[in-house]
Chains A and B, each alone.
Chain A
Amino acid sequence: MTLLPLLLAAGLSEGDRELAERLQRREPEALAELYDRYGRLAYALIYRIVRDTGAAEDLVQETFLRVWNRAQGFDAGKGSLGPWLLAVARNRAIDYLRSTSGRLRNALELEETEHPSHFLDLEKQILNSDMVRRVKGAFARLSENQRAVIELAYFEGLSQTEMAERMGQPLGTVKTWVRTALQILRDELGAAVSA
């Protein structure tokens, strides 16, 4: 993975405050700046989920317009724009996956996870390269099944019950994989935050 997107994102959170304020004033150039900061990450994430370039373009546009239209609800002094925008991007993509596969179970719950107020007081350097390197390292240490369940939750929005059905495994086994995988990631992220 090239470090360019990470380097672009690293250290950008400090400028997020001013950018968020400009978005709230609905300065169209602020949207251009937002796209230049996070457009590549958002596109890569959405494409990883939907695997279709045309749909990915539509969903990236939808993501940025959604952030543009909801910026008023964002606390520029406390929030982190990047994580919020990426949550919106992921949710748009999973919503699309669900709609194309007839899975509409908890679209409203996805909406709830992208509320701007949830991204207050997050670690300002959350998207820095050291954290990403650590989490990628932790990912590499996961077993195949542990990695699979995290990817099913993150990239496909599956619950543990749905994962068990998809993988043809008992729910208890899937829960064990999820619990162990999350503990490994949690430990690594905790080390990164306190480092």
Chain B
Amino acid sequence: MSCDELRDGYELYALGVLEDPERSELREHLGRGCEVCVAGVKRAREAMAVLAETVPPVAPPPRLRRRILASVGVERSRWWVTPMWVGISLSCLVAAFYYAGREHSLGIQMARVQTQSRQLLEEAARLNEALALLNQPETKQVTFGEGAPKPPRGRVFVNPRQGVLLLASNLPPAPPGKIYEMWIIPKGGNPVPAGLFQSDAEGAAMHLRRGPVDVAATGAVAVTLEAEGGAPQPTSTPLIVAAL
């Protein structure tokens, strides 16, 4: 066959669906380095590569990245969030209550275990969500408090689809009757409440505001100390300001 006769088969060959006799003929042309057919098949591969981009976007689950990387030893699973460790922790709790709680009724023990298990599972879910946001390539990261005379310090991660994650250190626990409130501040607009949180005894805090964020329209993320229950607008000077 001539190159002209084979021309219509370049793309189908590139896709692996060309049938004989055209397939064998084209292979023969390529095998002897036929310039016309080699160039034609190269163009066909380019065209077929572009077709991959016409598919509707579907986001892979965040666990897939971890799974692939773990398979070549890049990232091990975080021991503190795996279901296995949650299960082990629960077993330890059950055992502790079983052996030490003879003076209490079985009902009280079970209620405590249930509360502890719920807290563990909620914490594991929250950490998994945070890790998922951190793992997204489009997540934007800004630091705050660097070089400031007084703490707190930390980072804010903003993902257009998943939300805003705040990680802070040196943030003392809010005093009784008070709580920390996060704000998303649009460029040229009023702060929008983004949830309440408390820091732990060591001054560490993690707060996640779930949901889409218009990153380009956001000027900053801030944190203020507010009365328990929060406020619709900030009532005190921000303790944290992370400019995007």
Contacts and interface: CB of A to CB of B under 8 A. Distances in A.
A86 B49 contact: yes
Nearest to A175: B8
Nearest to B50: A135
Interface string B136-178: 0110000000000000000000000000000000000000000
B45 A159 contact: no
B189 interface: no
B100 interface: no
A106 interface: yes
B127 interface: no
B46 A122 contact: yes
A109 interface: yes
A116 interface: no
A123 B72 contact: no
A15 interface: no
Among the interface residues A44, A60, A80, which one has the most CB atoms of the partner chain B within 10 A? A44
A6 B53 contact: yes
A159 B19 contact: yes
Given A40-B60, A60-B64, A65-B72, A90 B52 contact: yes
Contact of B47 (A61, A158, A185): A185
B187 interface: no
Interface string A103-143: 00010011011000011011100110001100110010000
Contacts of B60: 39-40, 43, 56-57, 60
Contacts of B51: 135, 150, 154
Contacts of A65: 68, 71-72
A45 B74 CA distance: 25
Nearest to A183: B8
Interface in B9-56: 11-12, 14-19, 42-43, 45-56
B62 to A, nearest CB: 10
B96 interface: no
A44 B58 contact: yes
Given A60-B64, A112-B16, A154 B48 contact: yes
Nearest to B60: A43
Nearest to A83: B49
A122 B54 CA distance: 19
A43 B52 contact: no
A60 to B, nearest CB: 6
A136 B51 CA distance: 8
Given A45-B55, A113-B14, A31 B68 contact: yes
A122 B50 CA distance: 12
Contacts of A57: 60-61, 64, 67
B212 to A, nearest CB: 12
Nearest to A33: B137
B47 A135 contact: yes
A49 to B, nearest CB: 9
A178 interface: yes
A19 interface: no
A9 B57 CA distance: 13
A14 interface: no
B17 A158 contact: yes
Closest 8 CB pairs of A and B: A83-B49, A43-B60, A28-B74, A48-B55, A36-B137, A113-B16, A132-B53, A86-B52
Given A154-B15, A186-B47, 5 more contacts: A43-B59, A110-B16, A139-B54, A153-B17, A178-B12
10 contacts: A1-B56, A40-B60, A43-B64, A57-B60, A91-B16, A112-B16, A127-B53, A132-B50, A159-B19, A190-B43
